[in-house]
């Protein structure tokens, strides 16, 4: 969003220049941890460029300026139209930013609700031929189990994603206490999810370590019940018989006993 709030008097920057500015802001300027360690001279130069080119807050009271910002929010870094969901997310961020500026007394009112704007259409329809169906999903689970020891360990992990619709962070934090397995292998079971551990870059956490937190969009201590098919129950039961659990009860773990990383999952 910051790049959309800049006035480019000498023409729009190239894609490489936009990517460099984006990296300087996202990796350094917006990270408290990175700023504590001092900013490299090249990064400081990029940030000064952003400061000099940024709109004054008062300029956002002008509807033409806001329209120009919306136009930029509807584009990707390469200048092509962004997906409608991407624009909606950025617009929501922009709206909350303007709302905060009103709260701090920098603007008299939030101008966004009074502006009608429709982003350029971008065909983001899902090709059904590329979506995993039940038969293909079962074959993928078999293929995963043949990817060495870690692949076998993560077979039930991928089963949780495919057969129960868990988020990767929810599967990574899944514990034995959250499972309600049936006595009969032909019967369904339940998961009672209480936590998630999405992978976030170290600079964006207080400790630099990956955290286990409440479920996404849920209150602390909220529980989300998830039904398990008989197949998933069998996968999890087999997993427990082979691998057991981590000392804290987690079903899935890395080779060193920690949380399963996205890089490991992507490799498998």
Cβ(68)–Cβ(111) under 8 Å? no
> What are the pLDDT digits (tens) for 135-154?
898 999 999 999 999 999 99
Strand order in the sheet with 179-180: 179-180, 189-193, 224-228
The model carries a pTM of 0.71
Spatial CA neighbour of 97 closest among 64, 79, 70, 76: 70
Q: What's the mean pLDDT in 41-55?
A: 85
The token duo for 135 is: 């038969």
Q: pLDDT confidence of 126, banded at 50, 70, 90?
A: confident
- 3-state DSSP call for residue 239? helix
Q: Rounding to the nearest 10 degrees, give the CA dihedral for residues 93, 199, 33, 92.
A: 0
More reliable by pLDDT, 206 or 230: 230
Distance of CA 38 to the CA centre of its chain: 27
DSSP H or E segment with residue 90: helix 84-103
| Distance separating alpha carbons of residues 65 and 59, to the nearest angstrom | 7
| Plot region of 267 (φ>0 → left; ψ -120 to 50 → alpha; else → beta) | alpha
More reliable by pLDDT, 268 or 37: 268
Domain map (residue ranges) of the chain: 2-114, 128-267
Q: What's the mean pLDDT in 112-141?
A: 81
Cβ(50)–Cβ(5) under 8 Å? no
């Amino acid at each position: 969003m910051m790049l959309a709030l800049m006035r480019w008097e000498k023409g729009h920057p190239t894609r490489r220049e936009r990517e460099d500015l984006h990296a300087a802001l996202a990796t350094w300027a917006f990270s408290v941890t990175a700023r504590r360690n001092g900013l490299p001279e090249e990064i400081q130069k990029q940030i000064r460029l952003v400061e000099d080119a940024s709109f004054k807050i008062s300029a956002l009271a002008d509807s033409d300026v806001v329209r120009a910002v919306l136009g930029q929010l509807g584009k990707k870094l390469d200048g092509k139209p962004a997906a409608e969901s991407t624009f909606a997310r950025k617009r929501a961020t922009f709206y909350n930013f303007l709302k905060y500026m009103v709260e701090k007394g920098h603007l008299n009112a939030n101008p966004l609700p009074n502006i009608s704007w429709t982003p350029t259409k971008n065909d983001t329809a899902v090709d059904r031929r590329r979506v995993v169906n039940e038969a293909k999903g079962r074959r993928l689970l078999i293929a995963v189990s043949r990817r060495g020891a870690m692949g076998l360990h993560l077979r039930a992990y991928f089963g949780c994603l495919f057969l129960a619709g868990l988020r990767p962070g929810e599967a990574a934090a899944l514990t034995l206490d959250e499972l309600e397995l049936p006595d009969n292998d032909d019967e369904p079971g339940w998961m009672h999810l209480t936590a998630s551990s999405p992978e976030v870059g170290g600079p964006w956490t207080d400790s630099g370590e990956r955290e286990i937190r409440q479920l996404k969009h849920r209150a602390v201590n909220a529980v989300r019940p998830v039904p398990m098919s008989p197949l998933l129950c069998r996968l999890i039961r087999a997993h427990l018989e082979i691998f057991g659990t981590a000392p804290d009860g987690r079903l899935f773990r890395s080779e060193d006993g920690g949380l399963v990383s996205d890089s490991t999952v992507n490799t498998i």
